[in-house]
Chains A and B, each alone.
Chain A
């Protein structure tokens, strides 16, 4: 293909050059007529392909690591689909009756099935449409004789609409240099896997499936958000230079990661980690995390079966034991739409504004109390007090915090009566992420021990935009005066009431966000582990006094562009060429 320059959202930093490999290419097979005498052979080919795919999937299932058992279940269901009588019979029938090729018949049957699943009300079953489609595509690839091993099986850049766990298990992980997808978001499988594998990844890459072909050379720039298809000689030279420079920079920031993040004028800023899996906690001291600013508890609940209190206790105790400092564990933050079928799934037209976060848990008290019991018990598993902190998501009313405190008291009494070791109380904090919470920070501050600003949701709710709606994505503007003023208000009020204030959204790992929030006096920033050494390095180059002055200027301005320019100027001055190594969505693609 011709040289093409595409843009995407970086979800894992780094630069990679390699050969693009499309997973399950969704090529609609040709409609091919066959002779009646060929029907049996065609059916045989189909069954053979299904058998082969079943074996592939079983092999993939065997490779799933122990801590990702929920992925096994997804793959196990896919194995069953490869011999599903409905799929087999309908396809064979079509081949027999209409005398068409198996590939074409299969693609027709699969798309009908996908439609059936998509039309279901149940959100969990809706997602199964994806499984049907993936299985269908695998069989089609088999039928078309696409070989799974290419000559250049090193330096692969995976490309797909979206990446499913089986896809990764299928390949030799060490050969994958980067991932690009057309769909997905910051917390998609793609993002989590790529960060875990320390390879760059971009999601939401527009035109990906049109502009690139299997086997094309491609450069992915997980720093600036660029994808170059069939790059020119100069591009390649330029990016291999950048790749080397980035690797060197990364190594040097990692070397200094264990040192505290003190600004030039000796102000210490805490740098914490955002974590999804308990197993990550042990690796955090290597990237220099001072603690865990946000531990997301959703993962255990997204399985098909609800986790037991014991399982949760084990999980949280591991976090407390392995975290390099304190660990703020956020209580379940899902809406009914995300919890598979654990509860009767609540169907809401607008889940982001519905029964999610604290609203959901307060409505499902059995589930919530089981989580709170596990938390209080885990808090007692460490001799050091206050290592475990509880963080409440989606708070919009003081009453919600009070209700949680009452529940905590109940749970404490229950555990005492049953003679189970637990902490009587733990530090309690709230996520400030709704506009309502911003306006009552003073009242909320008197009910809790710390604030954590959830910048992503805060921006969406302040700007009244749906984060799934690409048409209004341009309004997700972190430098909007409403956002800047809210940040200032939360930090100031928190401090006035004697609370520590941290931030844990994407803005915390964005150099623009770092400069501004540091200027407003934020106590700690919580970022995804791969970004952590770089953010510490950035803080050490900054002057807190200068940041404060800059933040005041930005607070007074109504000109977003001018403000960005000002911040960019400061960043250029202190970081120079190093600025290119930090990912910024505020500034957008900079290449």
Chain B
């Protein structure tokens, strides 16, 4: 599973990956994800077994409480969907 696996959809992009951040999605990476997601015009959703969240909202992302190594899907819709998925996906794959 890597960034090469991004699927291109008719209106956006999708990537399924495992969260590699060592301690799960805690405040600091959540802050980084929402900051990064806000740089793109596309809307971006994080889908995990705990539910769905708007990647641009730190509160939404935090409340998903995604643990380390769990499977999630990033789904973006909009003009820069692929770039948005790649940028946030990169954070998901970082170790810390």
Contacts and interface: CB of A to CB of B under 8 A. Distances in A.
Contacts of A340: 23, 26
A304 B23 contact: yes
Contacts of A76: 27-28, 31
Given A305-B22, A341-B23, A344-B67, A132 B28 contact: no
Interface residues of B, number: 22
B96 interface: yes
A80 interface: yes
B73 interface: no
B62 interface: yes
A415 interface: no
B59 A87 contact: yes
Interface string B56-74: 1111101101010000000
B52 interface: no
B56 A77 contact: no
B58 A81 contact: yes
A541 to B, nearest CB: 50
A79 B38 CA distance: 14
A341 B24 contact: yes
A74 B62 CA distance: 13
A65 interface: no
Nearest to A82: B58
A83 B34 CA distance: 10
A302 to B, nearest CB: 12
B18 interface: no
A86 B55 CA distance: 10
Q: Pick the most buried of A77, A80, A125, A342: most chain B CB atoms within 10 A of its CB.
A: A80
A128 B60 CA distance: 12
Contacts of A124: 26
A85 interface: yes
A102 B60 CA distance: 21
B95 to A, nearest CB: 10
Residue among A81, A128, A341, A342 with max Cβ neighbours from chain B (10 Å): A341
Contacts of B27: 73-74, 76-77, 128, 131, 304
B77 to A, nearest CB: 15
Contacts of B28: 73, 76-77, 304-305
A81 B59 contact: yes
B17 interface: no
A116 interface: yes
A305 B23 contact: yes
B96 A80 contact: no
Contacts of B30: 77, 80
A367 interface: no
A122 B25 CA distance: 11
B41 to A, nearest CB: 13
Contact of B59 (A74, A113, A121, A122): A113
Contacts, number: 69
Interface residues of A, number: 30
B63 A84 contact: no
A316 interface: no
A329 B94 CA distance: 34
Given A87-B59, A132-B59, A344-B67, A80 B26 contact: no
A86 B54 contact: yes
A125 B62 contact: yes
Interface in B1-43: 22-24, 26-28, 30-31, 34-35, 38
A324 to B, nearest CB: 37
Given A73-B27, A77-B30, A85 B54 contact: yes
A131 B63 CA distance: 13
Given A120-B65, A128-B62, A84 B26 contact: no
A80 B61 CA distance: 12
Contacts of A80: 30-31, 34-35, 58
Interface string A435-463: 00000000000000000000000000000
Contacts of B23: 304-306, 340-342
A295 interface: no
A117 interface: yes
B40 to A, nearest CB: 13
Nearest to A305: B96
B9 to A, nearest CB: 22
Contacts of A128: 27, 62
A84 B58 contact: yes
Contacts of A304: 23, 26-28
A304 B67 CA distance: 13
A344 B38 CA distance: 30
Interface string A357-400: 00000000000000000000000000000000000000000000
Contacts of A87: 57, 59
Interface string A329-348: 00000000000111010000
Given A85-B56, A128-B27, 10 more contacts: A74-B27, A77-B58, A80-B30, A84-B57, A117-B62, A125-B26, A305-B22, A306-B22, A341-B23, A341-B26
Interface of A: 73-74, 76-77, 79-81, 83-87, 113, 116-117, 120-122, 124-125, 128, 131-132, 304-306, 340-342, 344
Interface of B: 22-24, 26-28, 30-31, 34-35, 38, 54, 56-60, 62-63, 65, 67, 96
20 contacts: A73-B27, A74-B27, A77-B28, A80-B30, A84-B58, A84-B60, A87-B57, A87-B59, A113-B59, A117-B63, A120-B65, A121-B65, A122-B65, A124-B26, A304-B26, A304-B27, A305-B23, A305-B28, A305-B96, A344-B67
